[in-house]
Amino acid sequence: MKIAERIVMVLLVLVLIGAGSWIYFAVQFEQQEVRDAVARGEFEVPLEDLPEPTIEEWQRVYPNTVPLQIGSATVKASVADSLPERIRGLSDTPFLPEDVVKLFVFNALGNHSIWMKDMNYSIDILWATKEGEIVHIEENISPETYPASFESPTPAWYVVEANAGFVKVNGIVVGSTISLTN
C-alpha cells in the first residue's frame, strides 16, 4: 500500500472516530437538557395522561418485591439492602405503581438521609425502627427539593419511599408499624 493510501485511510478512520464521538456527546447533551427541563418543571406530562403501566412494565423496574404491611395497607416492597441499591433508590425510575414502595434496609440505627437526586415524581418518606414502628414521616417531597436532604430526628433502621399521598390515603401516622407479611 502506498503512503498516500495509508494517509487517506488514517484520515478516514480519524474522521469516523470524530463523527462518532460528536454524535455520542450530542445525544448525551440533549438527554441532559431534557432531564434539566423536567427538573425545572418546563416539560411535564400530567399523570392522568400517562398510560397505566402493565404488570410486565413495573416488574421490569421493580423485579424483586416482598409483601409489606404499612399500617393497614398491604403493598409490594422493592428492597434496597445493599449500599449501591440504597444510593440509587428510586432515582431515574419512570414511575412507582400505587401498590409498590421502596424499602431501604440499613441494618443499623441512624438518621439516614434521603434526597431527591434524579427523581421523576414526588414521594412520601417514612422512617421506622428495627421493630417496625414509624418514627418520622415527610409527605409530598418533590424532585425540586434536590439537593436538600431529609432525615428523621429519631434514629431509624428502615426507610420506606412511597408515592406522594400514600400516607394520607392510608391514614399512616407516627406510631403506625411496618412489617413483612407472608
* pLDDT tens-digit series, residues 74-114: 999 999 888 888 888 899 888 888 899 999 999 899 999 99
Residue 78: what pLDDT? Answer: 92
Residue 2: what pLDDT? Answer: 82
Residue 41: what pLDDT? Answer: 55
| Rg of the chain (C-alpha set) | 22
Residues 24 and 62 in one domain: no
Residues 29 and 84 in one domain: no
Residue 15: what pLDDT? Answer: 75
Q: Which domain holds residue 30?
A: 1-44
Residues 97 and 161 in one domain: yes
- Residue 50 domain-assigned (yes or no): no
**In the chain, which stretches have pLDDT less than 70?**
1, 19-20, 22, 24-56, 182
Residues 134 and 175 in one domain: yes
- Residue 138 domain-assigned (yes or no): yes
Residue 47: what pLDDT? Answer: 45
Element (DSSP H or E) covering residue 17: helix 3-39
Residues 169 and 100 in one domain: yes
Domain count, the chain: 2
Sequence-distant (6+) residues with CB within 8 A of 88 are 80
Residues 103 and 31 in one domain: no
Residue 45: what pLDDT? Answer: 46
